[in-house]
Structure 1
Amino acid sequence: MSEQREPGVDASQWASSHQIERDLVLTDTDFSRIRELIYQRAGIVLAEHKREMVYSRLAKRLRHHGLTRFTDYLLRLERQPDAKEWEAFTNALTTNLTAFFREAHHFPLLAEHLRHKQSPVTIWCSAASTGEEPYSLAMTLLETLGPKAAQAKIVATDIDTDALSRARAGIYPQEQVRKLDEARVKRFFQKGTGQQQGLARVRPEVSELVEFMPLNLLSTQWPVKGPFDAIFCRNIMIYFDKETQAKILKRFAPLMKPDGLLFAGHSENFSYISDAFKLRGQTVYTRA
Structure 2
Amino acid sequence: MSHNLFLGMYTFGIKKLNTPDSKRIEINDFLSNAYPDDDNKFTKGFVQNLIYLIDEKTYKNERNTHGAILEEKSINSSRRILDILIDGGTTGIKQFIIDESGKKRILSDSEIVGPKFYARIWMPANTKTGYLFIQKYGSFSIKPIFDDIIKDVLKSKGYNIINNSIKATTTKARQKEFLKRSTIRDIVIVSNRSSHETGAADAASAEIRLKNIITQKNKVVGKTDMEAALKNHGFSIGRRDYDIKATYQNKIDDFKEERTIMLDSSEETINVIPNILIPQSCIDADNYPIFSKMQDFVDKEMIQVKKEAKI
Coarse TM-score class (shorter-chain normalised): under 0.3
Normalising by structure 2, what TM-score?
0.26
Q: Which one has a bigger Cα radius of gyration?
A: 2
Question: Is the strand fraction higher in 1 or 2?
Answer: 2
Larger relative contact order (C-alpha < 8 A, sep ≥ 6)? Answer: 2
More helix per residue: 1 or 2?
A: 1
